[in-house]
Amino acid sequence: MADGPAAQPAFSLAIDAMGGDSAPEVVLDGLELAAERHPNARFLLVGDESRVGAGLARRRRAARICSVRHAPEAIPGDMKPTVALRIRGSSLRIAIDAVASGEASGIVSAGNTGALMALSKIVLKTLPEVDRPALAAIGPSARGDVVMLDLGANVQCDARNLVEFAVMGDAFARAVLGLTAPSIGLLNVGSEELKGDDRVRAAAETLRDSHLGPNFRGFIEGHDITAGTVDVVVTDGFTGNVALKTGEGALKLMRDLLRQVFTSSVPARLGYLLARPALDRLREWMDPRRYNGAILIGLRGVVVKSHGGTDAVGFAHAVDVAMDMVTHGFNAKIRDGMARIAAAAPSTAPPVPAP
Amino acid sequence: MADGPAAQPAFSLAIDAMGGDSAPEVVLDGLELAAERHPNARFLLVGDESRVGAGLARRRRAARICSVRHAPEAIPGDMKPTVALRIRGSSLRIAIDAVASGEASGIVSAGNTGALMALSKIVLKTLPEVDRPALAAIGPSARGDVVMLDLGANVQCDARNLVEFAVMGDAFARAVLGLTAPSIGLLNVGSEELKGDDRVRAAAETLRDSHLGPNFRGFIEGHDITAGTVDVVVTDGFTGNVALKTGEGALKLMRDLLRQVFTSSVPARLGYLLARPALDRLREWMDPRRYNGAILIGLRGVVVKSHGGTDAVGFAHAVDVAMDMVTHGFNAKIRDGMARIAAAAPSTAPPVPAP
């Protein structure tokens, strides 16, 4: 089949077959699952041709929708992004190149996060309307799934960046969660208007006056994330990264303690067996694999990072997220939102700090 | 009994009897419990004389260790700190005045947080060695209790503030957790030395070279808080406040979901009954009341904020924390630590941002 550049991308996604703790096996198993859900997609699978080709030969469904492209090298998980940038023959680089050339609409990789972010920014470049890309992900809350960004792409942000994140988070929630009017909250240390620093107050003011105003719920606090107070949680990359990992850590602590509880005595074991169907539903609902796939948004192309240690089910979820974004014209939504924020004029200029 | 100023404070603690959602009843019930644990303490109970006096008459143990001082006014929970500052006859103000005059070593209030922080800072003032006080609290982890600060007293911090928080957190962990060499971590978006912003990198460098160096574990991430990787988690007030509330929110989500699980079917209910003794131990261990009492440290006097909605058990815990700090010469430890950081010289000057 043709895999040269084309007006309509030949491939839905380019897949870094060599990224992740158990690549390429887990990637291939994940694609076998993804092939069931996206039978009409076409994936460009980039990696060591002999290993990937042999693996694909054993997976009939994945083989039907995947083409293999050879990459002589792979980027280790612990390589510094600055070093990774120089390796032109890596599976990651060749996959990103396929997005840059228009062959594929997006890329999914379970490999080195820093390398993926750095290479995507440099090779794909940001959308013309966007100042800085952001890392977003979906997580569970008491009232359904919640989008949070930035999760670490930008450790220092100004008010303008926060406003951009809100526009991108809005587009993301529409495309991936299928919401028509996602509510948006700005993470702060209190919900009163005077709380926080100049940066969050200036961003809140811009958002209130923007086309997102009707859906902007103002400031929210840390506990609002899992309470599901809003659909989109906007924050700087430092706070977002810490909040995400703190929340995950708290849930892990609770899971570990529950495991201890249910193995602590014979009656407790029996109790576990009786409650097991309900506990299994809870576990399934909270399953981190269901939330696998962080998205670097604001670039010319869809870029999804799968967790490096996930299994086939998790990798397939990351592919789902990327496919949702490709299918729903995600970047068109962002560009539209950015144009509307820009049209609302002076408020997009870097806001003057409050006195 | 004498309650005028004295070289040795007449009272261990001044208690704001009118602060909190169910004051003064919950405060009095909490003191009834505290009286059992601290039979030799003396508390100055400040509030509406007739209500507090009548309540005290019904609580024999508390009555034995408390003296009442009348305050004609009380500060509502939603009053702005700037307004609260002007009310000289409030129970909060009169209690803080008792600490300022040397009558009491510290204060505990379940009332308006902003008012407590503002009044304490203005009336008590910071220790001469401390630039800015910080809000600290203790939380659960997989490896024992963890101290975290700042939790919101300073939404904008520089490297020097972070170093101060480390010194104060160290003293706090020694006094309240009874550790002889608490390990310290600086919250960041990754554990590698180059991660984060200039601020955290400069603070890490100062700490590495200080007397705390041997116990400084460098950068930690959000999930390290509940993993118990370190005893003292240091961060700025914005990040700390969001992290604390995010972790609490995640635990609450899990608790709510478990409640649903165990009421979802007859076998699940039966399973709950069988596992109940073990689940109750877990609940007790995670009980937020056990962690009640946030401490504003760095002031001339011990200042503890109890949660406004806690019950008698929670209030008694806040009193325990304050008593630990008073008993263990907490402020002497801070002053000693600050002196040693200052002696380590140029590193305490506000660090120059890295190039």
pLDDT (tens digit per residue) in A79-115 = 999 999 999 999 999 999 999 999 999 999 999 999 9
pLDDT of residue A353: 45
The pLDDT tens digits for A246-292 are 999 999 999 899 999 899 899 999 999 998 888 888 888 888 888 88
pLDDT of residue B314: 95
Which residues, in sequence order, are bridge partners of residue A108? A15, A304
pLDDT of residue A247: 94
Class in CATH terms, B132-289+330-355 = alpha beta
Instruction: State the Cα angle at A97 between A174 and A299, rounded to 5°.
Output: 30
pLDDT of residue B7: 60
Q: Which residues of B127-156 are buried (b: 16+ CB within 10 A; e: fewer)?
A: bebbbbbbbbbbbbbeeebbbbbbbbbbbe
Task: Say yes or no: domain A1-124 is CATH 3.40.605.10.
Answer: no
For an interface test with B, which of A149, A155, A246, A270 has the most B Cβ atoms less than 10 Å from its Cβ? Answer: A246
pLDDT of residue A349: 45
CB contact under 8 A, A282 and B243: no
Mean pLDDT of all residues in A210-233: 96
pLDDT of residue A109: 97
Is the bond into B214 cis (omega within 30 degrees of 0)? no
CB contact under 8 A, A238 and B189: yes
Q: How high is the mean pLDDT of chain A?
A: 91
SS3 B12: strand
The answer to which of A146-150, A284-288, A317-321, B132-136 has the lowest mean pLDDT is A284-288
CB contact under 8 A, B251 and A248: no
Of the candidates B250, B273, B276, which has its C-beta nearest A247's C-beta?
B250
Task: Answer whether A249's CB lies under 8 Å from B224's CB.
Answer: yes
Of the candidates A238, A248, A253, which has its C-beta nearest B142's C-beta?
A253
Q: Which residues of A298-315 are buried (b: 16+ CB within 10 A; e: fewer)?
A: bbbbbbbbbbbebbbebb
The pLDDT tens digits for A32-68 are 999 999 999 999 999 999 999 999 999 999 999 999 9
CA distance B33 to chain A (A): 29
Give the phi and the psi of residue B232 in degrees, each rounded to 5.
-125, 120
| Start and end residues for every CATH 3.40.718.10 domain found in chain A | 1-124, 128-290+329-355
pLDDT of residue A352: 44
Taking contacts as CB-CB distances below 8 angstroms, the residues of chain B near A155 are 189, 196-197
Strands, sheet with A104-109, edge to edge from the N-terminal-most edge strand: A66-70, A43-47, A11-16, A104-109, A302-305, A294-297, A134-139, A146-149, A232-234, A184-187, A216-220
- Report the C-alpha gap between B249 and B228 in whole angstroms: 18
- Residue that is written with structure tokens 């981190």 in the block: A288
Q: What is the mean pLDDT of each run of 10 residues along chain B (355 residues)?
A: 57 96 96 95 97 96 97 94 94 98 96 94 92 93 94 92 96 90 95 84 96 96 96 97 94 91 90 89 85 92 94 96 89 86 60 43
Taking contacts as CB-CB distances below 8 angstroms, the residues of chain B near A270 are 271, 274
Of the candidates A190, A237, A261, which has its C-beta nearest B279's C-beta?
A261
The CATH superfamily label for domain A128-290+329-355 reads Isopropylmalate Dehydrogenase (3.40.718.10)
For an interface test with B, which of A223, A270, A276 has the most B Cβ atoms less than 10 Å from its Cβ? Answer: A223
More confident residue, A309 or A2: A309
CB contact under 8 A, B257 and A221: no
CB contact under 8 A, B222 and A237: no
* A7: confidence class by pLDDT, cuts 50, 70, 90: low
Taking contacts as CB-CB distances below 8 angstroms, the residues of chain A near B154 are none
| Start and end residues for every CATH 3.40.718.10 domain found in chain B | 1-124, 132-289+330-355
- Report the C-alpha gap between B205 and B170 in whole angstroms: 17
SS3 B11: strand
- DSSP state for residue B328 in the 8-state scheme: T
